[in-house]
Amino acid sequence: MSRTDAQKKELKKLRNVDRAIADLRRGLPVVIIAGSEASVVLATEMAFAGELKELENLGGTPPVLALTAHRANVLHIKPTGDPAVRLKIEAWMDAPLMRALADATHDLDQPFRGPFTRLKGDLPEAIPAAIKLAKLARLLPSVLSTDLAANVAIELAKSADYSTVTLADISAFEATAAVHLKSVAAAHVPLQSAENTVFHAFRPEDGGIEHLAILVGDPNRHEPVLARLHSECFTGDLIGSLKCDCGEQLRGALKAISDAGGGVLLYLAQEGRGIGLINKLRAYKLQSQGFDTIDANERLGFDADERVFQPAAEMFLQLGFKKVRLMTNNPEKVDGLERHGIEVVERVTHKFPSNTHNELYLATKRKRSGHYL
Ligand SMILES: Nc1nc2c(ncn2[C@@H]2O[C@H](COP(=O)(O)OP(=O)(O)OP(=O)(O)O)[C@@H](O)[C@H]2O)c(=O)[nH]1
Ligand SMILES: [Zn+2]
């Protein structure tokens, strides 16, 4: 079936964001258009002397360093009520220092920093959008940014071959990618705990992040289905890390679904509660310094949980399920599905015994994240 013009336009927007994500990860500048204004941004963690010079030479305003409010709080920079702050880049701030300001795993090596000059005035809209882009790229949520007029930035993007995205494209990205998910492959994969199992691979039409649905048996589409949303955890699911309960929850869910005669497990590409494996390892380093799982995320500049559950809801709907009995202890998962058209008729407790390494992690989820544990 050929695509309508409106569909083509939506896909182009998705592709633009995907390209910008890939470029940020390569340490390339990206142009964000915000009405008549624009910012050329670089992911701070990828900024070295050469990249900084390139940004400085653009001829707009001098570059600034943008950090999230969470990260600024750690650096004792006064909150503004905005989601991010901008710091003036002083002569003594070189590229390694800027990377260290973005990366909390260096905080104990260089505890005394500043004084910093926070830029006053309204936060340009491109800054939170750029930080969102860095998060989508699974990089640390900090950017270096230079402001230009939009028409100048568009010309520059053409001549320097920079990716260009708009604010609207970035803010709509996750929801648009979710509604463009399509089942692209399905195959029978017998499991130890459930032999009659089919894996469905879902991919958004722009070729973005893929998720899996694991369908056990042939559940009745008219009844609420026993279901689990499982966020990818390389360390726990595959390698047997004792720092979390993911491996047990994964295997336990498949067994419970099989014992119940069928159901669905969605295996979501949301490693590290959506911050990615590298950032999760950074969070683990902070945890070994004594911070809990929430503070570790926030010290890195992230929210405690960066996941959205719209892709999960979309996959359930495409598989023909509107009502679920959800195995979870996390109230956010229940809300996240209900917001996107899935009725959670029952929350089924999904709890496993703790060990000495994950005791504190589970206690933190209970005490600070409102988990039923
Ligand atoms: N950022 C971060 N992610 C972690 C940490 N420990 C585990 N994770 C990730 O958390 C996700 C697992 O969370 P879930 O199993 O969905 O747990 P939950 O949100 O508590 O919900 P339920 O298990 O359904 O109750 C996986 O993506 C893990 O990689 C951590 O200390 N920091
Ligand atoms: Zn885990």
Rg (CA), the chain: 22
Residues spanned by the domain of 352: 182-270+307-368
Do 148 and 191 reside in the same domain of the chain? no
CA of 190 relative to ligand 2 center, distance in Å? 24
CA of 112 relative to ligand 2 center, distance in Å? 33
Do 81 and 221 reside in the same domain of the chain? no
Measured from the CA of 372, which atom of ligand 1 is nearest? 25
Contact 225, 257 (CB under 8 A): no
104 φ/ψ angles, rounded to the nearest 5 degrees: -65, -15
Q: Count structural domains, the chain.
A: 2
- Ligand 1 contacts CB of residue 371 (under 6 A): yes
Measured from the CA of 293, which atom of ligand 1 is nearest? 31
- Ligand 1 contacts CB of residue 297 (under 6 A): yes
CA of 277 relative to ligand 2 center, distance in Å? 10
Do 99 and 18 reside in the same domain of the chain? yes
333 annotated among ligand-binding-site residues: yes
CA-CA distance, 370 to 331, in Å (whole number)? 7
- Ligand 1 contacts CB of residue 141 (under 6 A): no
Do 131 and 192 reside in the same domain of the chain? no
Residue 370 has pLDDT above 80, yes or no: no
Each residue of 230-240: pLDDT tens digit?
A: 999 999 999 99
Q: What pTM does this model have?
A: 0.96
Do 124 and 159 reside in the same domain of the chain? yes
Per-residue confidence band for 215, with pLDDT thresholds at 50, 70 and 90: very high
Do 73 and 164 reside in the same domain of the chain? yes
295 within a domain of the structure (yes/no) = no
Buried (b) or exposed (e) across 168-180, using 16+ Cβ within 10 A? ebbeebbebbbeb
156 within a domain of the structure (yes/no) = yes
Do 111 and 215 reside in the same domain of the chain? no
CA-CA distance, 342 to 336, in Å (whole number)? 9
Do 322 and 217 reside in the same domain of the chain? yes
Per-residue confidence band for 373, with pLDDT thresholds at 50, 70 and 90: low
Q: Where residue 170 sits, what CATH number does that domain have?
A: 3.90.870.10
Average pLDDT, the chain: 94
Measured from the CA of 329, which atom of ligand 1 is nearest? 25
232 annotated among ligand-binding-site residues: yes
Give the mean model confidence (pLDDT) for residues 13-21.
Answer: 96
Each residue of 255-312: pLDDT tens digit?
A: 999 999 999 999 999 999 999 999 999 999 999 999 999 999 999 999 999 999 999 9
Do 199 and 142 reside in the same domain of the chain? no
Do 18 and 44 reside in the same domain of the chain? yes
CA-CA distance, 285 to 183, in Å (whole number)? 37
- Ligand 1 contacts CB of residue 249 (under 6 A): yes
